[in-house]
Amino acid sequence: MTTPPDKIAALELICPAGNPAALEAAVAAGADVVYAGFADATNARNFPGLNFTRDEMAAGIDHAHRHGCGVYIAVNTYPEAGNAGPWRRAVEDAATLGADAIILADIGLLQYAAETRPDLRRHLSVQASASNRAAIEFYQRAFGVKRVVLPRVLTLAEIAELNQSLPVETEVFAFGGMCVMAEGRCTLSASAPGQSPNCNGVCSPASHVRYERRGGDTVSRLGDFTLNIFSEGEAAGYPTLCKGRFVAGDSASYLFDEPSSLNVLEMLPELAAAGVRALKIEGRQRGRAYVSRVVSAFRQAVDGSAQSGALDDMTEGARNTAGAYQKSWH
């Protein structure tokens, strides 16, 4: 059955903004909403040079709203034990600055936001990893969640079945990096550099990354671990443990996950038919040019003028994947 164009056009395009320049680029390229975070550990992309001061966030929200674009603020990491203050301040500031929604994962923060800022729309982060009806309904009943960002482990059929009776909207990832862990709960990152995305907001922190020359090769290291050796002329990617090449037996290979990017640019009719409300582009750690190019391509696709292969050269490792949406394994 053909999906009506108006149902595809109704998909909300949620786009990354790692800094003010990227926010402006996303808005100009046709984002319906940008998502961003404060410059601290309260969000899951806490890299040096990324994110927003409070003044920058206020200016960004004003710019987006003047151009008809919404802003969601991610406060989607888990507070430190005994130190919930910075996370609670982030909730308060998101409301005060006029964010259209806040993206949360921690149960305690969800309760705090529901009690102290009931008018601030609450979305459930993918970091909560809610992938079944009972879990999602719990978050809706307990904390008034209006939307859930679904984990990247569900097939299209499973998403469609969920959407038949869920009391909330669903948002899915449409483009960008993949994670082999339970949506950011990375024991690899936590054990190697001692920081993890769900607590410290950073995977493979730049402070622990080194590149070395070894003869004609380039060696990438994370802390004490050698993650990859790139031969002369081979593109050297950013070192993350899950995408390192390791020797097993007599050969080196990607033991956890091969570099690739989720890309559903040509699957929008199927996602719309499955009842998805919003498409999320990953990439707050990416630059302005990346944001502009990817958002523009998805804007065209949602508006009905997609070009086949438009983003093939923007994917990690020059590989596209539909991930679990078209799962062929059991």
According to DSSP, residue 214 is labeled E
Domain ranges of the chain: 5-178+260-326, 194-254
The pLDDT score that the predictor gives to residue 92 is 98
Superfamily of domain 5-178+260-326: Aldolase class I (3.20.20.70)
The pLDDT score that the predictor gives to residue 168 is 97
Q: Would you say residue 330 has pLDDT above 60?
A: no
The pLDDT score that the predictor gives to residue 242 is 73
Select the more confidently predicted residue: 171 or 310. 171
Q: What is the mean pLDDT of residues 77-93?
A: 95
Q: Would you say residue 267 has pLDDT above 70?
A: yes
Cα–Cα distance for residue pair 295/313, rounded to 1 Å:
14
Output the CA–CA distances (angstroms, integers) from residue 105 to 14, 110, 150, 173, 324, in the order listed. 18, 7, 12, 16, 22
Q: Would you say residue 285 has pLDDT above 90?
A: no
Cα–Cα distance for residue pair 61/74, rounded to 1 Å:
14
Q: Is residue 183 within 8 Å of residue 282, measured between CB atoms?
A: no
Q: Would you say residue 293 has pLDDT above 70?
A: yes
pLDDT tens digit sequence for 99-110: 999 999 999 999
For the whole model, what pTM was predicted?
0.86
pLDDT tens digit sequence for 234-248: 777 777 777 777 777
